[in-house]
Amino acid sequence: MPTIGVLALQGDVREHLRALRSCGAATRVVRRPEELEGIDGLVLPGGESTTMWRLARSFDVLEPLRKRISAGLPAYGSCAGMIMLADRIADGAAGQETVGGIDMLVRRNAFGRQVDSFESDVRLAGIGTAPYHAVFIRAPWVEAVGAGVEVLGRTATGRSAGRIVAVRQGNLMATAFHPELTGDHRVHGYFVDLVRRALDQPSGEQED
C-alpha cells in the first residue's frame, strides 16, 4: 500500500484524502518539510496558487518540495496544483514561484473568474473509455508543453474547445479540474497506480 501525502496549505485536502483512500492508498497530511519523509507520492490540491506559493515559503516547504520532486517523487496537481507543478506561468503575480517539474506553460484563471466556473465532459487518455465529468473552478489551462509531456485531455466543447486540461510527464501529472469534487475516482486511481509503478522502478528511473 503506497503512502501518499496531500499538501495541506490550502484547498480540498479532505476530499483528496478520501479519494486516495478509496483507491487503496494510505494517506498523510503534509505541511512541514519533515512530513515529506516516508511518503511515496504527493497531491497538490486546488486553491489559490499565489496564496499556496506564499504559504509554502512561510512553512519552509517550497525548497524541500522542489528537491523531492526533482529527485523523482510522483506528484499530482489539480487546478492551483497544476500551476504549482508548471515550469512556467502566464499571468502570474509579481515574483510568483512554483515547485516546477512539468515542462509546460500554464495560464492562471484562463477560463475566467469564479462566476465562470463550469462542468464539462473530458475524454482522458488511459483513464477509462467513458468521458470524465470534470469540474472547473476559476481554472487554468496549459498553453504549451515540451516534447516530454503527454497530453491526457483537452476540452471538447465551447469557446475554449481544444484547450489542454490534463497532462503527464514521467512521475508527474496535473489536471486543470477538480476530480476530488466528484464521485468518479478514476483520476486518483490513475495516480495511485503511477505511484505503485514508481515504487517498482529501480532507484533513479522514472515511469515513461
Task: CATH number of the domain at 67, please.
Answer: 3.40.50.880
Active-site position among 48, 79, 185, 188: 79
Give residue-wise pLDDT tens across range 85-133: 999 999 888 889 999 999 999 998 777 665 457 788 899 999 988 999 9
Catalytic site includes residue 79: yes
C-alpha cell of residue 3: 503512502
pTM, 2 dp: 0.92
Counting residues of the chain whose pLDDT is more than 90, the rounded percentage is 72
Catalytic site includes residue 23: no
- From the number of C-beta atoms within 10 Å of its C-beta (0-12, 13-18, 19+), residue 87 rates as middle
Give residue-wise pLDDT tens across range 158-179: 667 889 999 999 999 999 999 9
Active-site position among 15, 23, 180, 185: 180
Domain-located, residue 40: yes
pLDDT of 203 reads 57
pLDDT of 77 reads 97
Active-site position among 16, 23, 48, 178: 178
Read off the pLDDT of each residue in 143-171 and give the average, rounded to a whole number.
90
What region, left, alpha or beta, does residue 79 occupy, with left being phi > 0 and alpha being psi -120 to 50 degrees?
A: left
116 compared with 188, residue with greater pLDDT: 188
**Is the confidence at residue 84, as pLDDT, over 90?**
yes
Kind plus residue range of the DSSP H or E element containing 76 = strand 75-78
The residue range of the domain holding 28 is 3-200
Give the Cα separation of 163 and 153 in Å (integer): 8
Give residue-wise pLDDT tens across range 32-59: 999 999 999 999 999 889 999 999 999 9
Domain-located, residue 66: yes
Counting residues of the chain whose pLDDT is more than 70, the rounded percentage is 93
Catalytic site includes residue 16: no
pLDDT of 93 reads 84
Domain-located, residue 208: no
Domain-located, residue 179: yes
| Alpha helices, DSSP H, located in the chain | 13-22, 49-58, 62-70, 80-85, 186-200
pLDDT of 72 reads 95
Domain-located, residue 100: yes
Domain-located, residue 195: yes
The C-alpha angle 146, 116, 42, rounded to 5 degrees, equals: 45
Give the Cα separation of 183 and 27 in Å (integer): 18
Give the Cα separation of 110 and 112 in Å (integer): 6
Domain-located, residue 207: no
What's the total number of domains in the chain? 1
pLDDT of 21 reads 97
Q: At what angle do helices 49-58 and 62-70 cross, to 10 degrees?
A: 100
Domain-located, residue 206: no
Which residues on neighbouring strands pair with residue 161, listed in sequence order?
Answer: none
